[in-house]
Amino acid sequence: MAGMTLIDISATLQPGTPEWPGDTPFSCGWTWRMSNGESVNLSAITTSPHVGTHADAPLHVRDGAAASDALPLDAFIGEAVVLDVTALHGELDRGTLRAAGLTATPTRLLLKTGRSSASGAFPEGWPALTPECAAALVADGLRLLGVDCPSVDLRESTTLAVHHALFDGGAYNLENLDLSIPAAGPYHLMAAPIKLGALDAAPVRAVLHHLPSVT
């Protein structure tokens, strides 16, 4: 592992990091300051767990479902494929993914849409899998769908059918990644959710390590 090059694909969580319109924004302040004579600097934050890079728990879309502290670590750590769909719009089916270069269903799929809020602005829209495509990928072994945009569903969705398709099959998601640096290809992903009890989402520090291409 010595000399391994890591690519940080997490959005910086700070004042001004875009939240979903109407959600609680990130804010921070100081409880103690050494400049005021205290022994340490001590900060405090207020935020929705959906601001910045995060994993949704099933509780996000289903009352009584598993919460953030039950998110399984093995879904968020392991081999992953980054797929570049920056030229695409609207709903993406399996044929569209094949045309974009996805030759087989990976265990973890990260969609590089180019509509990331990590740039500092909440995007107007982004491409997303059809619910049927998400369900088919999960049936083929997909355990994690990551996106650099604010949701695995289209912005205007109210049913959140892609969320449901993932959770129905025992798969999970990552949202608000920063995929501006990594090119399409195979990687090792490390993106463990913070173990927050009984919430609907958990912040994540997501990192990629490039793997050799498989021919």
Residue type, 140: D
Q: pLDDT above 90 covers what percent of the chain?
A: 93
Checking if the pLDDT of 67 tops 80, the result is yes
Per the prediction, the chain carries an average pLDDT of 96
User: pTM for the full model?
Assistant: 0.95
Cα–Cα distance measured from residue 10 to residue 12, given in angstroms and rounded to the nearest whole number: 6
What's the token pair of residue 29? 């302040």
Checking if the pLDDT of 154 tops 80, the result is yes
Q: How far apart are the first and last CA of the chain?
A: 23
DSSP track, 84-123: E-TT--SEE-HHHHHHTT--S--SEEEEE-S--GGGSS--
Contact partners, residue 9, CB within 8 Å, separation at least 6: 53, 110, 148, 177, 178, 179, 181, 182, 206, 207, 208
Checking if the pLDDT of 56 tops 80, the result is yes
pLDDT digits (tens, 9 = 90+) for 156-199: 999 999 999 999 999 999 999 999 999 999 999 999 999 999 99
| Model pLDDT, residue 4 | 74
| Model pLDDT, residue 64 | 97
Domains and CATH numbers, the chain: 49-210 (3.50.30.50)
Cα–Cα distance measured from residue 52 to residue 12, given in angstroms and rounded to the nearest whole number: 7
Cα–Cα distance measured from residue 43 to residue 160, given in angstroms and rounded to the nearest whole number: 35
- Which one-letter DSSP state was computed for residue 177? B
Query: Which of residues 112 and 5 earns the better pLDDT score?
Result: 112
| Model pLDDT, residue 87 | 97
Cα–Cα distance measured from residue 165 to residue 168, given in angstroms and rounded to the nearest whole number: 5
Q: Residue 60 catalytic?
A: yes
Owner of token pair 């045309």:
99
Q: pLDDT above 70 covers what percent of the chain?
A: 97
Checking if the pLDDT of 88 tops 70, the result is yes
Cα–Cα distance measured from residue 1 to residue 178, given in angstroms and rounded to the nearest whole number: 23
**Active-site residue, selected from the candidate residues 50, 54, 60, 163:** 60
Query: Which of residues 1 and 190 earns the better pLDDT score?
Result: 190
What's the token pair of residue 114? 């180019």
Contact partners, residue 99, CB within 8 Å, separation at least 6: none
